[in-house]
Chain A
């Protein structure tokens, strides 16, 4: 065939010239949308910093921002995986109440140590997830229906289990949500050294993995991003982590324990979604379920395990929520599923599945959290807070859609 074939395809130089900017940004380790959402978070933080006369970023406010919103971030991690696979989970709020009841009762009525109670709670979450995953994956009932049923079932079970508030929980358990890492290294000025060390280690670990990834791209002769961009990125990350570290080190307790929990979860799940075959298969299923199945992806197994996973994460959220409330109540976790879903969509997940990232969901949760806190400091009526959050969700998704339409990719 005598078509004007380009005889030297896929050479990096030619590639760079032909690939549109949006895709080249994609090579920066995310997509342009990701940077947009980080930018939006920074803008919202600065906006409220001004509107609240600098109260938003007071050390103790930042610490409680994480303590108040840890449950959203934990649930959003599981939810974004479910959404990427093309499902939804409406039951997490009820599961939080149900598992919270189990954990509290194991401690108070069965007199089990708090660590054992936590393990029981995680196992219960996994069982709940396996139950829902079974119906979705192996029977083929849409997740919307299964988890809508789950929302009713587990709220009902929570009401049965926690007839009246279960209080009087051990102080160790209470300190999970409210406590901070012990100040074993003393202070520099007023700054908690443990927090500073954690911040430094976190940055070094991140920088190390980035440099390693870059070296591996080089080794395989692949087109890595320009050095300038790479260094700019590292500097921006260093500034972000540095600012957060310094602010937190001046807070009453230093590093909140829940921040450590969330941080570990983010690292583990970003790795799972970004670097493992399982993660790739979740994206593939969300993109084209039939194609994934024809290609040899065991779609049922993947579906099952993402529901087991969100069950376990809902249990973690239940532990944090119960610990924060100091007691288990049947009404716990109301609307948590909506918070988590909103965080995912603000964070760039696609309603149709196949697109979404852990980091995006976390940033989405933080945007909602900052909005909550900023508006509360400004003493805005809670009714209006709700309305404003709704509009932000709508605008975020509309912005995303218009962007895609302009790019012509969807």
Chain B
């Protein structure tokens, strides 16, 4: 599966954003294809979340263009992003603890038959989506308050699949999760790619990034600082791009951690 000669599903070109005198992003480019997980990495304040918020309609760039499927678009609101097929999992989970899994998946997009909610239909779809993510949530009728943090993250990711999106943005989906929970979330991300979506993964965790991403885009001080192929680049190269330090040749004690299921060449 080759990226060349295909129109990227999401393309951002020359994105610039200032908050007062602070240049959050300067002339940043980003391309994501279908069936691809692109990790957006960088140190704190590098502009990762700012870039993500532009894709999901929370922020608007001062300059630059966003193209979806080759068409230039504007994304003025989160609703507009949803209409364009962009779904986002925000860093602070946007879920209601008191509602059950199905209600959370469909919140704001409830199915109705005439006056009444179509709870049966929604529950059926919820099960199908969770199954497609290989999620192991005990019941779609469990209130969120009874689920673990990892399971809630599963729900948040499953939420993005309501309304058949093409692009999914995940902002630090594994932050503060246990090892097992992280593994489960990473599995979900692989499933999203297998479903043919373009995935933008923002993360601090290099192990996670190297486990699921096909390509790593490094931001440093709001600028592109390297695009690395996960399969061929070393851990040190990524760290060097993030910190701006020169690469030191060292024994490869951090061998790539890609598992056998992520057999997608970038």
Number of interface residues of B (CB under 8 A): 49
Residues A5 and B134 in contact in the complex (CB < 8 Å), given A27-B141, A296-B109, A409-B145: yes
Cβ distance A408 to chain B, nearest Cβ, rounded Å: 9
Cβ distance A52 to chain B, nearest Cβ, rounded Å: 39
Residues A220 and B141 in contact in the complex (CB < 8 Å), given A3-B187, A5-B187, A288-B97: no
Cβ distance A169 to chain B, nearest Cβ, rounded Å: 37
Chain A residues with CB under 8 A of B116: 275-276
Chain B residues with CB under 8 A of A284: 96, 99, 103, 107
Contact with A along B179-211 (1 / 0, CB 8 A): 010011011001000000000000000000001
Residues A220 and B120 in contact in the complex (CB < 8 Å), given A1-B183, A6-B136: yes
- Residue in chain B with minimal CB distance to A5: B134
From A15, A283, A297, A410, B145 is in contact (CB under 8 Å) with A410
Residues A291 and B93 in contact in the complex (CB < 8 Å), given A1-B211, A19-B142, A276-B115: yes
Of listed B127, B137, B138, residue having the most chain A CB within 10 A: B138
Whether the pair B123, A222 counts as a contact (CB closer than 8 A) is: yes
Q: Is B28 an interface residue, CB under 8 A from the partner?
A: no
Contact with B along A245-286 (1 / 0, CB 8 A): 000000000000000000000000000000111001001101
Chain B residues with CB under 8 A of A5: 134, 136, 184, 187
Whether the pair B108, A1 counts as a contact (CB closer than 8 A) is: no
Cβ distance B177 to chain A, nearest Cβ, rounded Å: 12
Q: Is A152 an interface residue, CB under 8 A from the partner?
A: no
Residues A354 and B97 in contact in the complex (CB < 8 Å), given A18-B138, A276-B115, A296-B108: yes
Q: Is A10 an interface residue, CB under 8 A from the partner?
A: yes
In the bound complex, how far is the Cα of B259 from the Cα of A267, in angstroms? 56
Chain A residues with CB under 8 A of B235: none
- Residue in chain B with minimal CB distance to A219: B120
Whether the pair B138, A19 counts as a contact (CB closer than 8 A) is: yes
Chain B residues with CB under 8 A of A6: 136
Q: Is B23 an interface residue, CB under 8 A from the partner?
A: no
Chain A residues with CB under 8 A of B112: 277
Whether the pair B96, A288 counts as a contact (CB closer than 8 A) is: yes
Q: Is B27 an interface residue, CB under 8 A from the partner?
A: no
From A220, A277, A287, B99 is in contact (CB under 8 Å) with A287
Q: Is A388 an interface residue, CB under 8 A from the partner?
A: no
Cβ distance B258 to chain A, nearest Cβ, rounded Å: 11
Whether the pair A9, B135 counts as a contact (CB closer than 8 A) is: yes
Interface residues of B in 107-142 (CB under 8 A from A): 107-110, 112, 115-117, 119-121, 123-124, 127, 130-131, 134-142
Q: Is B146 an interface residue, CB under 8 A from the partner?
A: yes
In the bound complex, how far is the Cα of B124 from the Cα of A220, in angstroms? 7
In the bound complex, how far is the Cα of B131 from the Cα of A315, in angstroms? 49
- Residue in chain B with minimal CB distance to A407: B146
Whether the pair B134, A9 counts as a contact (CB closer than 8 A) is: yes
Whether the pair B107, A295 counts as a contact (CB closer than 8 A) is: yes
Whether the pair B98, A1 counts as a contact (CB closer than 8 A) is: no
Q: Is A290 an interface residue, CB under 8 A from the partner?
A: yes
Number of interface residues of A (CB under 8 A): 43
In the bound complex, how far is the Cα of B142 from the Cα of A294, in angstroms? 22
Contact with B along A174-218 (1 / 0, CB 8 A): 000000000000000000000000000000000000000000110
In the bound complex, how far is the Cα of B95 from the Cα of A410, in angstroms? 16
Whether the pair B107, A10 counts as a contact (CB closer than 8 A) is: no
Cβ distance B190 to chain A, nearest Cβ, rounded Å: 7
Chain A residues with CB under 8 A of B96: 283-284, 287-288, 291-292, 354
Chain A residues with CB under 8 A of B140: 10
Contact with B along A302-339 (1 / 0, CB 8 A): 00000000000000000000000000000000000000
Q: Is A232 an interface residue, CB under 8 A from the partner?
A: no
Cβ distance B108 to chain A, nearest Cβ, rounded Å: 3
Cβ distance A98 to chain B, nearest Cβ, rounded Å: 33
Cβ distance A1 to chain B, nearest Cβ, rounded Å: 5
In the bound complex, how far is the Cα of B261 from the Cα of A375, in angstroms? 71
Whether the pair B134, A297 counts as a contact (CB closer than 8 A) is: no
- Residue in chain A with minimal CB distance to B184: A3
Residues A355 and B98 in contact in the complex (CB < 8 Å), given A7-B134, A276-B115: yes
- Residue in chain B with minimal CB distance to A84: B98
Whether the pair B187, A1 counts as a contact (CB closer than 8 A) is: yes
Whether the pair B211, A217 counts as a contact (CB closer than 8 A) is: no
Chain B residues with CB under 8 A of A10: 127, 130-131, 137, 139-140
Chain A residues with CB under 8 A of B187: 1, 3, 5
Q: Is A23 an interface residue, CB under 8 A from the partner?
A: yes
Supplied contacts A1-B187, A223-B139, A295-B108, 12 more A-B pairs, CB within 8 Å: A3-B180, A3-B183, A5-B136, A9-B130, A9-B137, A10-B139, A277-B112, A280-B103, A288-B96, A295-B109, A297-B107, A350-B98
Rank and list the top 3 A-B pairs by shortest CB-CB distance, nearest first. Answer: A296-B108, A287-B96, A220-B120
**21 sample A-B contacts, Cβ–Cβ < 8 Å, listed by A number:** A1-B184, A1-B186, A1-B187, A1-B190, A1-B259, A3-B187, A5-B187, A9-B136, A19-B138, A20-B146, A217-B120, A280-B99, A280-B103, A280-B117, A284-B96, A291-B94, A291-B95, A291-B96, A296-B82, A296-B109, A297-B107
Q: Which residues of A contact B (CB under 8 A)?
A: 1-3, 5-7, 9-10, 15, 18-20, 23, 26-27, 216-217, 219-223, 275-277, 280, 283-284, 286-288, 290-292, 294-297, 350, 354-355, 409-410
